[in-house]
Amino acid sequence: MTKKSRTWLAITIIVLLLAGAGVVAFLSLPMRAEAAADDAAADLNSSTIDSTAWSDTDASKTLHDEVLGALDESMKKRSVELDGTKKSDDGAVATLNWTWTNQDDEVWEYSSRLPLHRKGLLWSADLTAQAIHPDLDEGRVLVSKKNPGERGSILGDDDEELMAEGTVIDVGIHPAKLGEAEGTDGENAEATLTTLEDELDIDLTSLQERIDAADPDQFVPVITLRESDYSAVKDTIHSLPGTVFKTRTQPLSIKRGFAAATLGTAGAANAEEVEASDGKLTGESVVGKSGLQKAFNEQLTGPANEEIFIADAEPGTEGADSEPVLVHEFPKRDGEDITTTLNVAVQEAADTAAATGKKPTALVAIRPSDGHVLAVANQDPDGAAWDRALTGQYAPGSVFKIASGVALLESGMTAKTTLGCPKTTTVDGKTFKNAEDHVMGDVAFEDDFAESCNTAFVDAAKKVSASEVANAASNLGMDDIDLGVGSKMATVPHDDDPVNHAAQMIGQGKVVASPLAVAAMAASVADGDTVSPLLVLPDQRADNREQILDADAARAMQKLMRRAVTKGTASALQDVPGKPVHGKTGTAEYGGETPPRTHSWFAGYQGDVAVAVLVEDGGFGAEAAVPVAKKFFTALN
C-alpha cells in the first residue's frame, strides 16, 4: 500500500469513528422526547434526581425530596414506569405509572403526566407537583398516617373473652405546674406527692427522682389505672396541683390480677421498639410487653390502617390550606384473637387460693383428660409479676416421689413390698434423713409413700437406675413442652453416681422442675397415661401415640396418692367436698444454710382436675402448699 493510500485509509477510519460517535451521542443524549422520558422515569424509580434529563436538576431534586421525603420513609418501596409519550401543543407529555408498596406488601397505584420540552436539539423533563401526583398543588406534599388496627383479644375455654381493649387513665405529674404549686407556699407540692403515695401505693422516692430528672413540660407517669380504679380515687387526686391525666385504651384482663403473669401486658411501643420495627410501628402502636401478649404479639396486632394525605409542606404559614386531603387508604385489618385453654371459674379459684400464700406462690391446674391448662396463678406478696408457675425451676422434693415411685412400681415393687424407714441412711459418705427425724421401721411401701419417708426411697435407689427414674418422669409428661410462652418443664439427669441417684429418688440433687411439670406429672397419673400440657389452641400435635405409661404402675400410683390423703401427710384434704382427692406433699431443700431452707409443694388431683402448688420458702408441704390446694379444691366445689 502506497503512502497516499495509507493516508486516505486513516482519514476514512477517523471519519467513520466520528460518525459512530455521533450516533452514540444521539442515542445517549436526550435528543428524542422518549429518551428524556426514559431517563426521568429511571430517576424517579430509583429516587435519584441526577440525570441530564431535567430542565433544572437542582430544582427538580428539591421538589422531589420535599414532596416525597415523608412518604419514602413510611413505604417499603416505590416503582415508576414510563407508559409512553405523546406530543402536546408546547412539546410532549410522558405518562408515568406509579406503584407504592407499604410495609404489609399492599399496593397503591396511580398515573401522572410529566411535561417534556425541547430546547435546540435536546429534550428535557420538567418535574412538577402534578407529575408526582395528579392532585398535588405547589406547596403541598404527600404524607402518610398510620392508624393501628384493633388488637385481637385473648380468649379462654368456651371462647370466653379473657383480655380485650379497655379504658385506662394514665396519672402523671407536670413538673412545671408542680413547681408553681411549690412556689406558692411550699406545701402544695408536698401535699400532692404525699396524697398520691397514700392513695395509689406508689414509691414516692422513685417518683421524686423521675420528676427531678424530667423537663419542665414533660409528662412524668405515676401510675396507670383501670377506669373503675380511677373512679374510686378520682375525687381525691384529680384536683391536686401538678397532676395531669390521659385517657386511652389498652388490653385489659376481665379482672385485675386474673392470670396476670401468663396473660401478660401490652402498651405503647417505646422508642427502641419503634426504631427496630422498620416502619411498622409508631409511638401510638400497642405491642405486647410480657406473657401471651408478647409471645403472640404478631397475631394479636392488627396491621396499621395507613392513609395517604396531601398536606401543606409548611402547615400554619400564611396562605396554607390546613385541611389535608385523603388520596388513598390501605385496607384496615384487625389483629387475630388467640384462644387459650384457661377456664374462668378454675382460674378465679386458682387466683383466690394462691393469694392465701404467705410467701410467693404458684399454682397450675391441668385437665387430665385432654391436657388443657385450666389455670395458671402467680402470687407474690412483694408484687413481683414473673410467671414462676410456668417458667420457674425448683427442686421438687418429695412430690417427685411420684416419678421415682412409678419407676419402682415398674421394676416389680408393689404397694405391699416391705421397705425400711430408718431415721437416717448413708450413701458413699452422704447422710440422708427424714423430715423431723421421722422413723417408721420396716413398713409397706404404701406407708413409706404416704408418710413421705426419704430414707426408704434412698435405700430403694439400688432397685432402679437413674435412667429408669428419668424415663418414668418423661412418661409422666415432665419432658419439655413448648406452650408458646417460654415455659419450662423438668430436668432429670441420667446420672448413676450413687449419691446423685440417691438424691434423685427424693427430688433433690440435680433434679429441677416447674410447677407446670409437676402438674403434668399429677395429671398423667390421673389419666393413666402421659399427659402433654396445652395452653394455646388449636393443638397441632399429632395424637397417634401408643400407651407409654405402664398402666398397672399408674393404677398403683393412684392408690398410693389416695392413701397419702387418707392416712398420710396430705390428710388435711380428706374433708374437701366432691370427688376423692389424690395427692402427694413435698418439702424441697435448697441453698447452703444450716438447717437448709425449704420450698413447699403439693401435687394431686380431684376428678378431672390435676394441680401443682408451690410456695417458695414455705417450709413443709403439709403446712404451706396443702392449705392452698385445699382452698383451690374447695372453691371449685
The CATH code belonging to domain 154-306+331-336 is 3.90.1310
Averaged pLDDT, 109-125:
94
Would you state the cell numbers that stand for residue 36, as one nine-digit string? Answer: 428524556
Averaged pLDDT, 71-98:
94
pLDDT exceeds cutoff 50 at 611: yes
CB atoms within 10 A of CB 247: 10
pLDDT exceeds cutoff 70 at 5: no
Write the burial class of residue 146 (CB in 10 Å: 0-12 exposed, 13-18 middle, 19+ buried): buried
Residue 139, classed as helix, strand or coil, is coil
Length of the chain: 637
Helices (H) and strands (E) in the chain, counts: 22, 26
Residue 395 falls in which region: left (phi positive, over 0), alpha (psi -120 to 50) or beta: beta
Averaged pLDDT, 8-35:
58
CB atoms within 10 A of CB 271: 8
pLDDT of residue 26: 47
Q: What is the pLDDT of residues 444-488, one digit of tens each?
A: 999 999 999 999 999 999 999 999 999 999 999 999 888 989 999
Compute the mean pLDDT over every residue in the chain, rounded to the nearest whole number. 90
Lowest mean pLDDT, pick from 68-72, 379-383, 409-413: 379-383
According to CATH, the topology of domain 30-140 is: Nuclear Transport Factor 2; Chain: A, (3.10.450)
pLDDT of residue 544: 55
pLDDT exceeds cutoff 90 at 405: yes
pLDDT of residue 24: 46
pLDDT of residue 369: 96
pLDDT exceeds cutoff 70 at 9: no
- Give which of 77, 74, 66 is closest to 305, Cα–Cα: 74
Averaged pLDDT, 541-569:
88
The C-alpha angle 597, 603, 606, rounded to 5 degrees, equals: 150
pLDDT exceeds cutoff 50 at 117: yes
Q: Please give the Cα distance from 494 to 617 (Å, whole number).
A: 28
Averaged pLDDT, 568-590:
96
Residue 614: beta bridge partners?
362, 601
Q: Which of 30-34, 276-280, 596-600 has the highest mean pLDDT?
A: 596-600
pLDDT exceeds cutoff 90 at 347: yes
Lowest mean pLDDT, pick from 61-65, 316-320, 608-612: 316-320
The reported pTM is 0.78
Averaged pLDDT, 193-222:
91
Q: Please give the Cα distance from 94 to 116 (Å, whole number).
A: 7
pLDDT exceeds cutoff 60 at 182: no
Q: Judging by DSSP bridges, how do beta strands 154-155 and 338-340 pair with one another?
A: parallel
The C-alpha angle 40, 41, 42, rounded to 5 degrees, equals: 90
Of residues 351 and 285, the one with the higher pLDDT is 351
Give the pLDDT band (50/70/90) at residue 427.
very high
Averaged pLDDT, 29-47:
91
**Domains of the chain, residue spans:** 1-29, 30-140, 154-306+331-336, 344-636
Q: Hey, which CATH number is domain 344-636, 3.40.50.920, 3.40.50.150, 3.40.710.10, 3.40.720.10?
A: 3.40.710.10
